[in-house]
Every structure is written in structure tokens, then in C-alpha cells.
Structure 1
Amino acid sequence: MRGESGERGDVPVVPLAAAPGERESWGRPAAVVYLWGVVEWLVVTNPLQISSRLRVKALRCFGATIGEGVIFRPRTRVRFPWKLSIGDNCWIGEGVWIHNQAPVTLGHDVVVSQGTMVTTGSHAHRRDMALVTRAVHIESGAWVTARCMVLGGSVVGRSALVAPLSVVHGDIPPGAVARGNPAVVVGERFAPGNES
């Protein structure tokens, strides 16, 4: 049976007005979250080529743990800096969005290239749309290339490479090259003869 809009009446709809959990992931008072939103907009997301050091300093002021030599390009976003940990000498490309409702940890010498999204949140879609969060770990030496998506609960192993436009949902082994949606292992990054 179809309703007025042509929808099937026997398929349930989860009432979003009753969905729990939005502010449970904040981890700071609302005033801090709102203040961070302003600072992020002015300094971090700002498309102007202002100093990477200024972006890093703003993130640290709001609780991010960021090592030395980290490059943060323009138009980046970080949902909650107090849930972000980045090791030394990492590169965060232009337009990267770290939507970290749970902790996101990057080892040292990690590259996250332009347009990539790292997200730790999802929803209990069969139940009540409650927020469900799981941490993300990108281990030292890994390279998540352009326009990828790394989903909550994923681990990108040491020196692994995720090819452009891939979706990581799970574990990528150390030293692997992964590609696709979902990303699957297609080779080894440091295999002999694999120079590109």
C-alpha cells in the first residue's frame, strides 16, 4: 500500500526527532564547541594560504596533540580537535575533513591527501538512528591518497597506501596497496618493480 507521496506504508520510518546522542560525542561544553567552530572557520577552514603553523597552533589550543613538522593545508576541517592526535612530519592536504566524533590517531610521516574524509560516526539505522562512533587509526608511513573516505573502526596499517577514491571500512594491512569500494588489497607498496 502506498501513501499520498507514493511511499510504501508497510516499510517503517525511524522518527528522527527522537534520535538520541548528538551532543554525547562532543566531549566539551557547548561554549567550547561553538568557539572552536568560529576559530576553525577563521583559521583552519580558511581558503587563504595562511601559515600552516597557525592552523596547527589553533588546533593545539583546542586540545589536539600534534607533533613537529606537521603541514596543514587550507580548507581543512576538524570536528573536535581534542579528539585528534597526529605524529611528527605528517601532511594533511587541502580540503581534508576529519569528522572525529571518536578519536582519530595518525602516526608519524602520514599523508592524508586532498579531499579525503575521515569519519568516525554513523547511526543505528535499523533501530533509532542513535549515534554510533568508532575510532580511526592511520599508522606511521601510511598514505591515504586523494578523495578517499576512511570510516569509523578502520585501521590503515603502517606504510599502507590507499588509492584515490577508495572507501576504507575495516583494516588495511601494513605495506599493502588497497583500492576500491570497499577498499581491498591489490598489491604491495614496496614490491620490487613497483616504482610509481
Structure 2
Amino acid sequence: MGFREPNQPSNVRVIDLADAPGEKTAWDRPKAQVYLWAIVELLLITNAWQVSSTLRIRALRLFGAEIGDGVIFRPRTRVKFPWKLHIGDRAWIGEGVWFHNQDHIHIGSDVVISQETFLTTGTHAYRRDMSLLTRPILIESGVWITSRCMVLGGVTVGTSALVKPMSLVSEDVAPNTIVGGNPARPLGTRFPTAA
């Protein structure tokens, strides 16, 4: 006999989450490596007391992240799977950025991702069985994603685009475009174009 919420319509389907395919479908590495990464992430990446960007980047590279030269990686960040993270040269990753990368996230050179931004490549088959669905994220060179934004899987943010604070990016952003809002919509041009 299962629990039934008061006033819950009996004719509306509820997916039994006990039968839902789990998130382990995105692991693509041995269980021991995933668990070891969780420990290293806690000690060296998320840890606010670990102030060395160089040490943070070394740990990420050791677990398969591709990170270019001159990258700054601030404390309190999270990376779900470092082997699915690709960052070009001279990128700045702000405090509290969360790469929930169950699929690949590609970040170009000279990109700024500001504080508390959340990038997630996963969603669920919510009309079927809640199985995990993933799509990669591509952030091209020169982009600035300002603080507390959310970028969803399948999105490309074009070269030198700017995403205003607290925006939800659920669709592609054209190069050199300023977007903002929930959902993010074009608001203008970042750099004037030559005539």
C-alpha cells in the first residue's frame, strides 16, 4: 500500500522513480574513478580554503580536463566530470561556478564565467521514464557570462556574446549579442561593427 497525497487526482500518471534509469548512465568511467574524483573535488576544487588556482587546474587536468594556458579557476567551483570539461586559454572561472557536465562543456579562449553561474548538460525524459538526457554546451571565445546565470544543454553561446546577470540561456545566442532575462532574449550588440 503506497502513500497517496490528499487531493491528488487518481487519473494523472506518476512516474515510479524506483524504476527510472539512474544518472550513472553518464559516468562513462569506472566507479572507483568517479568516487575518487568526488573526494578530490571536495578537497581541492570546491574547498573555499584552497586558494591556489594552479593546484585546482592541476587536479582537473589529472582527471582528464583539457584546460589551456593562463586560466584562472576560483574556489568553491564544482565540476561533475572533469574528463568532459574543455577550456581554452586565458579563461576566468568565478567563485561558485558549477559545471554539472554529464555531457561535454566546451569553453573557448578569453571567456569569463562569473560567480555562481550554473551550466548543466542534463535533463530528464519527463514524459516517459525520467531517464537522463544530455546535450553538450559550447561557449565560444570572448564570451562573458555574468553572475548567477543558468546555461542549459544543447546551447551555443556565440563569439563575444554577453549574458546579463541572472539570465536563463535555453537557446543559442548569436555572436556579439547581449542577452538577458528568463528566458534570455537579445537586448543589443556588445561591440559596434565596422561600417
So what's the TM-score if we normalise by structure 1? Answer: 0.95
- 1:26-37 residue pairs with structure 2 within 5 A? 26-37=27-38
Separation (CA, whole Å) in 2 of partners of 1:4 and 1:165 = 34
Separation (CA, whole Å) in 1 of partners of 2:34 and 2:51 = 23
Task: Give the superposition deviation at 1:9.
Answer: 1.1
Q: Give unpaired runs (5+ residues) of structure 2.
A: none
Q: Corresponding residue for 1:99? A: 100
Q: Give unpaired runs (5+ residues) of structure 1.
A: none
1:176 corresponds to which letter in structure 2?
A: T
1:173 corresponds to which letter in structure 2?
A: A
Task: Give the superposition deviation at 1:20.
Answer: 1.2
Structure 2 residue matching 1:115: 3-state secondary structure: coil
So what's the TM-score if we normalise by structure 2? Answer: 0.95
Instruction: Report which stretch shifted further, 4-13 or 29-38.
Output: 4-13
Separation (CA, whole Å) in 2 of partners of 1:156 and 1:51 = 29
1:43 corresponds to which letter in structure 2?
A: L
Q: Corresponding residue for 1:109? A: 110
Task: Give the superposition deviation at 1:174.
Answer: 0.2
Q: Corresponding residue for 1:143? A: 144
Q: Corresponding residue for 1:43? A: 44
Separation (CA, whole Å) in 1 of partners of 2:61 and 2:43 = 15
Separation (CA, whole Å) in 2 of partners of 1:4 and 1:162 = 41
Q: Corresponding residue for 1:170? A: 171
Separation (CA, whole Å) in 2 of partners of 1:174 and 1:19 = 38
Q: Corresponding residue for 2:56? A: 55
Structure 2 residue matching 1:186: 3-state secondary structure: strand
Is residue 184 of structure 2 the alignment partner of residue 183 of structure 1? Answer: yes
Structure 2 residue matching 1:55: 3-state secondary structure: helix
Q: Corresponding residue for 2:18? A: 17
Give the number of aligned pairs: 190
Structure 2 residue matching 1:126: 3-state secondary structure: coil
Instruction: Report which stretch shifted further, 33-42 or 49-58.
Output: 49-58
Q: Corresponding residue for 1:87? A: 88
Separation (CA, whole Å) in 2 of partners of 1:161 and 1:25 = 30
Separation (CA, whole Å) in 2 of partners of 1:4 and 1:171 = 40
Q: Corresponding residue for 2:119? A: 118
2:108 corresponds to which letter in structure 1?
A: G
